[in-house]
Amino acid sequence: MSLLPSRFIYVCLHFLVLYFQLQSVESQQSSADFRFYIENHTRNPDDLSRKQVRIYQLYSKTTGKHVQILGKKINANGDDGDKNALLVVETETFGSHIRIKGKESEHYICMTEKGKIVGRPDGRKQECVFVEEFLENNYTALVSAKYKEWYLGFNSKGRPKKGSKTTQRQQEAHFMKRPPKGRLDPLEEFRFTTVTKRTRRARRLKPNSKRN
């Protein structure tokens, strides 16, 4: 009779051990499923479901013209509406990281480890990713995602500046997004501003009024 309580306790302990083991397995399975879900939705930064693609021109405050990608060479001397000034901008959903590709040349703007701005056909590397910084003067600065504090910039002649010689405050690193000449999606109107060559001052784009 004295053994019954001991056996009873042993059996209870045995069942408790099995119960906690099953709970542990279920928890691990649930965690694995959750990790799989997260990895499946975040491991591919180029997934189209996470990317927005826009086409616009990038107006340079320094030259009064537009950034154009001529294959490996890049400058800021493009005229409004020039085919080489049309940029395909790929924006990832999470954050403001972008890749900029020439619609005509199909080359991306990239920054080398020496700060040199070059055009490359493959834009998947981190050196071809820039982060948008919106400034108080309604302009935008583009800083390298790989080389922190190095900005995309052009001198008064439209030539690229080395990233190591740029800062956010320099007007050489200030740009403005403009719609392609003659094209304006009404839904995108609030995102763009227009610039006159004489004043180079930004103002909100207003619908053209019909003359009586």
pLDDT at 70 over 60: yes
pLDDT at 174: 98
Tens digits of per-residue pLDDT, 20-51?
666 655 555 544 444 444 344 444 444 444 67
* Nearest-angstrom CA–CA distance, 120 and 110: 7
Taken in order of first residue, the domains within the chain and their CATH numbers are: 48-194 (2.80.10.50)
Tens digits of per-residue pLDDT, 120-170?
999 999 999 999 999 999 999 999 999 999 999 999 999 999 999 999 999
Q: Over the Cα atoms of the chain, what is R_g?
A: 28
Q: Which two tokens stand for residue 135?
A: 């400034």
pLDDT at 51: 75
pLDDT at 170: 97
Please name the helix (run of DSSP H) or strand (run of DSSP E) that holds residue 92, with its range, or none: strand 87-92
pTM: 0.65
List, in sequence order, every beta strand (DSSP E) within the chain.
Answer: 51-60, 66-70, 73-78, 87-92, 97-102, 108-111, 117-120, 130-134, 140-144, 175-178, 193-195, 202-204
